[in-house]
Amino acid sequence: MTEAGSAPEKRKRGAKKSPPRFSREQADVRRSMLIEAATRCLSVGGIGAFTIDRICREAGVSRGLINHHFESLDGLLVEVYKSSLYASVNNQIAEAKRRRAEASDWPPEASLAALVRSNFSPDYFSRENLLIWLSLWGEIAVNPRLQAAHRELYDAYRAELAEDIAAVAIPRLRQVDAPSLARNFIALVDGLWLEWCLDESVVTPQAAEAAGFEMLEAQVGPLRDG
Amino acid sequence: MTEAGSAPEKRKRGAKKSPPRFSREQADVRRSMLIEAATRCLSVGGIGAFTIDRICREAGVSRGLINHHFESLDGLLVEVYKSSLYASVNNQIAEAKRRRAEASDWPPEASLAALVRSNFSPDYFSRENLLIWLSLWGEIAVNPRLQAAHRELYDAYRAELAEDIAAVAIPRLRQVDAPSLARNFIALVDGLWLEWCLDESVVTPQAAEAAGFEMLEAQVGPLRDG
DNA sequence: GGTCTTGTTGTACGAACGTTCAACAAGACC
DNA sequence: GGTCTTGTTGAACGTTCGTACAACAAGACC
Q: B141, B143, B126: which is closest to B84 by C-alpha? A: B126
Name residues 64-103 of chain A with a Cβ under 7 Å from nucleic strand C: 64, 66-68, 72-74
How many other CB atoms are found less than 10 A from the CB of residue B225?
Answer: 6
| Strand C close to A172 by CB, under 7 A | no
Whole-angstrom distance between the N-terminal and C-terminal Cα of chain B? 69
pLDDT at B193: 94
CATH of A22-70, one of 1.20.1250.20, 1.10.10.60, 1.10.3720.10, 3.40.50.300: 1.10.10.60
Q: How far apart are CA A187 and CA B119, in angstroms?
A: 15
Q: What is the pLDDT of residues B83-101, one digit of tens each?
A: 988 889 999 999 999 999 9
User: In angstroms, how far is D30 C1' from B79 CA?
Assistant: 39
Residues 13-72 of chain B in contact with strand C via CB under 7 angstroms: 21-27, 30, 61-65, 68-69
Type of residue at A129: N
- CATH code assigned to B80-226: 1.10.357.10
* CATH class (in words) of the domain with range B24-70: mainly alpha
Name the residue facing B138 among A135, A192, A211 (closest C-beta). Answer: A135
Q: Residue A10 in contact with residue A19, Cβ under 8 Å?
A: yes
Contact flag A202-B139 (C-beta cutoff 8 Å): no
Q: Which residues of B touch A198 (CB under 8 A)?
A: 137, 140-141, 147, 150-151, 154
pLDDT(A108) > 90:
yes
- Longest Cα–Cα distance of chain B, Å, equals 81
Residues of B in contact with A151 (CB under 8 A): 198-199
- Pairwise pLDDT comparison (B10 vs A82), residue with the higher score: A82
Determine the topology of domain A79-226 in CATH: Tetracycline Repressor; domain 2 (1.10.357)
pLDDT grade for A80, boundaries at 50, 70 and 90: very high
**DSSP track, B150-174:** HHHHHHHHHHHHHHHHHHHHTTTT-
Q: Indicate if the alpha-carbon torsion angle A12, A14, A18, A21 is positive or negative.
A: negative
Å from the B69 CA to the C6 C1': 12
One fold for B24-70 and B80-226: no
Q: How far is CA B30 from CA B17, B23, B55, B56, B65, in A?
A: 26, 10, 13, 11, 9
Task: Tell me the backbone φ, ψ of residue B188, rounded to 5 degrees.
Answer: -65, -45
Alpha-carbon span B9 to A122, nearest angstrom: 68
Q: Which residues of A touch B (CB under 8 A)?
A: 45-48, 131, 134-135, 137-142, 147, 150-151, 154, 158, 180, 183-184, 186-192, 194-195, 197-199, 202-203, 207, 211, 214-215, 218
pLDDT 10s digits, A151-199: 999 999 999 999 999 999 999 999 999 999 999 999 999 999 999 999 9
In chain B, what are the domain boundaries?
24-70, 80-226
Query: What local confidence, expressed as pLDDT, does residue A189 receive?
Result: 97
